[in-house]
Chain A
């Protein structure tokens, strides 16, 4: 079957690929482009481990087709740090030990980045509801919420 040619922007770089019509954007990122930071925890949009930002909108990349990325702008966890300078959220996740196994971490970081972009001063409740689409089974979310609270304070002051 002939592939669909797609030209898109990923973490600021123009990227071109061929994909099948039934292939998800998550499969394209992971299997065709080697961007394995986004994880498949369910494939049904329930766990958020594959979260990416698509044209300023937080989405589960398992629910987007690869072909739909044509002409759009994609942000993944691989694009969060600037060189060896971690994003404030990445640094705060490390300092607060907001990860244990770490499989959900890329999704949480992307979701938190999107949350703080839209609401730079969220309450605890707003953080909890803002991140309710991302499942973590290790931490009980306590240290994740604290890391995001701390990052918000630092980012506001920046």
Chain B
């Protein structure tokens, strides 16, 4: 069926309202079932043994004592997960990360696992596994890992993206370059140039729910997996491939998910749990501890970034250049590439060049974290932009407005922009009362812009109309923050019925066609597109049934506000048939009424935001306090504005934690020193003020309702906005994130010459 995804400019009845979410009551009564809240008869407890070394050859693993312990039902090592990846390097890395094969590559790398009748027995069994390591030199710092004398993490890695293949292997897996024009010439035209180097430390997504799953492999080769994930279809593919199963034999059910932020897009424990279940012949529940979550899952890249920007006296940027180094953990990724693409995406530039270097280190495999790679690049660029505005004597908002990208601008990463929101967010910030509010002593104000691509991807949705006229909507994008409410609104809108008559669920992998992950801010964007398409298909059938009931041509039946209406004078006395009336007769008119949709949701509109914040710095201690925070972001169309605000506020809060406090701290021994919420401190309620939001709606021309993804962009500006505020408050430019009290104090003292 042809589906026209173009923006239609319709007036909305349901979309844009703020009803209570359909999964809400279960979540406030404790009834909602998350990853660890599911159990099966005969279930065993799985536990994973992890390397205490940052880099070591695994000489030998002796599991015999553990196997003999009463109550232990299975012990596995890499031998129980044979390599079935058939030359697929990315899958091999996933396999190796799930269970180390020849080398442990970071503190926390899984080396063996057990399944036992209870947690205590499983813990005892882990202690009985003997691993002989040959410890190797390690490297955890991104800049040190690039040095030619650095310990080599993988001797098969030769830097990609160079003109010639290098003679020697190194820790640099890839060089990526973006841009256009001639930066050398552009800097020649500049009256002022700012050149600075920045560093950001590694952070974790910090979802409150640890990874958890229950795996059950039957002797007939079929299996079930219950798991908290952002993408159960992708988990099915990865697990099936690693376990040597047909995908259709593995049914994956996504539980309620207790936060992901990109961190639950990668398999870690699930193939291990399946392998344990296969070996033990019983279901296995595997739940990570918080220590394991920090040491072995998640984190984002640590970075080191050089930025150079030049401008004429009139405030026109003439050239912009950045070199970005991103840590990837011990496996190749594309994190530096994404950083290099996003760095200057907010601006209209004639001459721009960015170069990204992807660097291996002995840290956990880098995972996506909300607009992955963009916040660090924005921190560096937006800090330099602020400094340049200062040198020019221009207001930082006006300087950005003058150089902001517009519709028709060729972006720094290639494509030409359609209608975009960077200009409008800046104008809104310029006129926001926050910008005019007075500041007190030791307080500074900062602002910064951020960009994120957004993603669409493969999407499949079923919409079934019951005989009572109520609607069941089955989607395949995991609901990470209220999307069942927004998708129910969309179904209600398109069908012309009340929100209360729609019930949305997330279907398992055996009940619906393939869906990409809930990532790239695609959940509501792509599944709403598929829901609209499915509803339109259902409406076609509803019209056919009404025509049948009236005994007229379907061409004379239109769908208006939840009713079939006969058009034309000859049908003037037929009145209307409601969806409910048509559904009630469906058994006699051709059977069940449903609409399905399978599509690739192209045209995810790019997203921009501008943030303002006020920070107070104590010059005696370097401690900081967030006084006020405002988010302005383009949503395209806010389907459920309360949850859009929630995305803006949540991203800002994560950014505040990253900017001021959060970081992975490694000892000289390569071990993570702060693998817990006490020492890796995320913002608590008393750390933050209310976070004000302003939703702009610049319709995405590629979505029927104008929707853009909203989930990720909100974490892009905070690092820079806060750095600019702290720098203004403390009178010294901050170049290292997080701006913890010792770093701020050291900067203040260095400025004073102490």
CB-based contact A137/B682 at 8 Å: yes
CB-based contact B650/A139 at 8 Å: yes
**Residues of chain B within 8 A of A49, CB atoms compared:** 208
Q: Which of B256, B290, B642 contacts A97 (CB 8 A)?
A: B642
CB-based contact A132/B208 at 8 Å: no
CB-based contact A145/B690 at 8 Å: yes
CB-based contact B28/A109 at 8 Å: yes
CB-based contact A101/B28 at 8 Å: no
What range describes how many residues of B lie at the interface? 35 or more
Q: Are A36 and B37 CB-contacts (below 8 A) given A104-B208, A138-B650?
A: yes
Interface membership of chain B positions 10-47, coded 1 if the CB is closer than 8 angstroms to chain A and 0 otherwise: 00000000101101110111111110110000000000
CB-based contact B686/A135 at 8 Å: no
CB-based contact A106/B210 at 8 Å: no
A152 within 8 A of B: no
Q: Are A77 and B29 CB-contacts (below 8 A) given A20-B120, A103-B258?
A: yes
Q: Bound state CA distance, A27 and B285, in angstroms? A: 14
CB-based contact B646/A143 at 8 Å: yes
How far, in Å, is B299 (CB) from chain A's closest CB?
14
A8 within 8 A of B: no
CB-based contact A144/B258 at 8 Å: no
Interface membership of chain B positions 675-711, coded 1 if the CB is closer than 8 angstroms to chain A and 0 otherwise: 0111000111111101100000000000000000000
A134 within 8 A of B: yes
CB-based contact A135/B29 at 8 Å: no
A120 within 8 A of B: no
How far, in Å, is A15 (CB) from chain B's closest CB?
16
Residue total for A at the interface (Cβ-Cβ under 8 A) = 59
A17 within 8 A of B: no
Name which of B20, B21, B27, B688 has the most chain A CB atoms within 10 A of its CB.
Answer: B27
Q: Bound state CA distance, A96 and B652, in angstroms? A: 18
**Residues of chain B within 8 A of A22, CB atoms compared:** 120
B106 within 8 A of A: no
Name which of A76, A99, A101 has the most chain B CB atoms within 10 A of its CB.
Answer: A101
Interface membership of chain B positions 181-197, coded 1 if the CB is closer than 8 angstroms to chain A and 0 otherwise: 00000000000000000
CB-based contact A141/B20 at 8 Å: no
Q: Are A97 and B28 CB-contacts (below 8 A) given A103-B209, A145-B685?
A: no
Q: Are A47 and B686 CB-contacts (below 8 A) given A36-B37, A99-B27?
A: no
Q: Bound state CA distance, A76 and B647, in angstroms? A: 29
CB-based contact B209/A39 at 8 Å: yes
CB-based contact A97/B643 at 8 Å: yes
Q: Are A101 and B677 CB-contacts (below 8 A) given A77-B29, A143-B646?
A: no
CB-based contact B259/A37 at 8 Å: no
How far, in Å, is A50 (CB) from chain B's closest CB?
11
**Residues of chain A within 8 A of B119, CB atoms compared:** 27
CB-based contact A94/B653 at 8 Å: no
CB-based contact B259/A103 at 8 Å: yes
How far, in Å, is B294 (CB) from chain A's closest CB?
10
A131 within 8 A of B: yes
CB-based contact B31/A97 at 8 Å: no
Interface membership of chain A positions 21-46, coded 1 if the CB is closer than 8 angstroms to chain B and 0 otherwise: 01000010010000111111111101
B539 within 8 A of A: no
A61 within 8 A of B: no
Q: Are A90 and B29 CB-contacts (below 8 A) given A135-B684, A136-B208?
A: yes
CB-based contact A42/B290 at 8 Å: yes
Interface membership of chain B positions 626-659, coded 1 if the CB is closer than 8 angstroms to chain A and 0 otherwise: 0000000000000000110111011011100000
Q: Are A100 and B482 CB-contacts (below 8 A) given A37-B31, A43-B289?
A: yes
Q: Are A97 and B685 CB-contacts (below 8 A) given A22-B120, A80-B29?
A: no
**Residues of chain A within 8 A of B210, CB atoms compared:** 40-41
CB-based contact B653/A140 at 8 Å: yes
By beta carbon, the residue of chain B nearest A102 is: B27
**Residues of chain A within 8 A of B645, CB atoms compared:** 97, 143
**Residues of chain B within 8 A of A134, CB atoms compared:** 684-685
CB-based contact A141/B653 at 8 Å: yes
B207 within 8 A of A: yes
**Residues of chain A within 8 A of B32, CB atoms compared:** 102
CB-based contact B677/A135 at 8 Å: yes
B128 within 8 A of A: no
How far, in Å, is B642 (CB) from chain A's closest CB?
4
Q: Which of A76, A127, A137 contacts B654 (CB 8 A)?
A: A137
8 A Cβ contacts from A126-158 to B: 127-129, 131-146
CB-based contact B685/A41 at 8 Å: no
How far, in Å, is A76 (CB) from chain B's closest CB?
7
Q: Bound state CA distance, A125 and B119, in angstroms? A: 41
A/B interface sample: 18 pairs, CB < 8 A = A38-B30, A44-B290, A46-B676, A47-B208, A86-B25, A94-B24, A97-B642, A99-B28, A102-B256, A102-B258, A105-B27, A125-B686, A129-B686, A131-B685, A137-B207, A138-B481, A141-B688, A145-B690
Q: A39-B209, A138-B259 are in contact. List 12 more A-B contacts (CB 8 A).
A: A39-B208, A41-B677, A47-B677, A90-B28, A94-B21, A97-B645, A103-B207, A134-B684, A137-B650, A137-B682, A138-B650, A139-B653
Query: B residues touching A (Cβ–Cβ < 8 Å)?
Result: 18, 20-21, 23-25, 27-34, 36-37, 119-120, 205-210, 256-261, 287, 289-290, 480-482, 642-643, 645-647, 649-650, 652-654, 676-678, 682-688, 690-691
